[in-house]
Homo-oligomer: A and B are copies of this chain.
Amino acid sequence: MTGLRKSYGCPVEFSLDLLGGKWKMVILARLKQNLMRYGELRRAIPDLSDKVLTERLGGLREVGLVESLADADGVTRYQLTARGESLRSVLQALYDWGEAEAATLKVSIRPPAPTSD
């Protein structure tokens, strides 16, 4: 597994080494709802570029949190693995806290408008 150190000062430090960065947990949170196509992820997270989405998905596959399924119609879909599913409590906790905190700070949470496909 590339990039992992052999030793960490605490489990949170270790978690963040695997999950850190601007977009990984956002991607995982999307996939927590249901499996998604690449293009759906792209549209769901408009501020995230093509290049970084590909890279982050690759990294998440590499550590076994996400898997890709090539369908018959040639479209790739991504979903959480069992291991990735074990992150549900982390992702839900971040979601819940963010929601409450946004209400407190009057920050707007506005998913991008869905588009037909």
> Which residues of A come within 8 Å of B, CB atoms?
1, 4-16, 18, 20, 22, 25-26, 29-30, 44-47, 86-87, 89-102, 105, 107-112
Contacts and interface: CB of A to CB of B under 8 A. Distances in A.
Given A9-B111, A13-B98, A86-B100, 17 more contacts: A4-B105, A7-B108, A7-B109, A8-B108, A9-B26, A9-B110, A10-B26, A10-B30, A10-B95, A10-B109, A12-B29, A13-B45, A15-B98, A86-B101, A89-B96, A90-B90, A92-B93
Contacts of A46: 9
A26 B19 CA distance: 13
A15 B93 CA distance: 10
